[in-house]
Amino acid sequence: MTHAPQNELLASSDVETSPIDRRTQVGTVCVLIVVLFGIYFPILREMVHHWSVVEDYQHGFLVVPLALFFAYERRWDLEDARIHGSWLGLIPLVMGVASLAIGRLGTELMTMRLGFVLTLIGLVLLLLGREIFRILAFPLFFLFLMVPLPQSLVNTIAFPLQLVAAKFAVFSLQELGIPALVEGNIIHLAHTELFVHEACSGLRSLMALVTLGVVFAHFFKPGVLWMQLVLVASTIPIAIAVNAFRVALTGFLAHHFGEEAAGGVIHDFQGIFTFALALAMLLAEGRLLDILSGRIRTPDDATTTTELD
């Protein structure tokens, strides 16, 4: 009996996928994704409607185009990647289907929406394999940022943020010599009162800034995981700080120019200004991290190097 050489057996077990088989597999995945969209269409349509009517989640309109762009960035890696399905994909696939079923039974939209992303991840891993999944992991997981939080969780998060903003505003106003008292989320001034609504909790800027932080970390700190994690994590205190500053600024304007000066167009402009401030803080933090890690040199370092030369 003739035995095939071991090297030949190893080679035969690692045969590259032919172009025809590759097109068939990719086509199968595309068809299944279309079917997935069909199954989840009512849920996705409701989610898009949520983005349009709830200002806290209007950044959701940018998440899908950005995810597609992130995938497009890796197109050359995808062309070279070997397609070899992995049974590990059954884990997120089953979790996604279970989330859909549980969400329908409990009428919980967030669970069903998360189920869509989990099912999509499972299909990619199951049919295309771990190599392609690693390439597409970031754009796939980025899709979780488009899922709105349930209102019960929003209420739980928003109220403490309202209290923080109100207390910081009163502290700042008192330091400026402006008489102010805080009672819960109500700021008492000499001639008026300011109510820190849920919309003033900073949750809107928090959600948008976290998404922006992820995008910023991806583009400007590629391959440096610790920097990316620090940048994304720092968006939370930055968002809270700039929102508290915004509430304090509103109180300052209301005290000196009347309550009307703190509302309307001026109030909207404050939102734009404070978000720009948060973005500037994020950019400054990124540069500081570069300096601390030695990725870029400060002017003093450059001068020292020139003198040594």
How would DSSP label each residue in 227-268? Answer: HHHHHHHHHHHHHHHHHHHHHHHHHHHHHHH-GGGGSHHHHH
pTM of the model: 0.77
* CA atoms of 114 and 106, how far apart (whole Å): 14
Chain mean pLDDT for the chain: 80
Phi-psi region of 129 (alpha: psi -120 to 50; beta: other; left: phi over 0): left
Give the dihedral sign, CA 234/147/270/193.
Answer: negative
Residue that wins the pLDDT comparison between 260 and 214: 214
* CA atoms of 100 and 107, how far apart (whole Å): 10
> How confident is the model over 154-211, as pLDDT tens digits?
778 888 888 888 888 888 888 888 888 888 878 888 777 787 776 677 777 788 889 9
> How confident is the model over 239-252, as pLDDT tens digits?
888 888 888 888 88
**Under DSSP, is residue 108 helix (H, G, I), strand (E, B) or coil?**
coil
**Under DSSP, is residue 58 helix (H, G, I), strand (E, B) or coil?**
coil
Phi-psi region of 225 (alpha: psi -120 to 50; beta: other; left: phi over 0): alpha
> How confident is the model over 2-61, as pLDDT tens digits?
444 444 433 333 334 445 566 777 777 788 888 888 888 888 999 999 888 887 788 889
Kindly state the average pLDDT of the residues 263-273.
Answer: 73
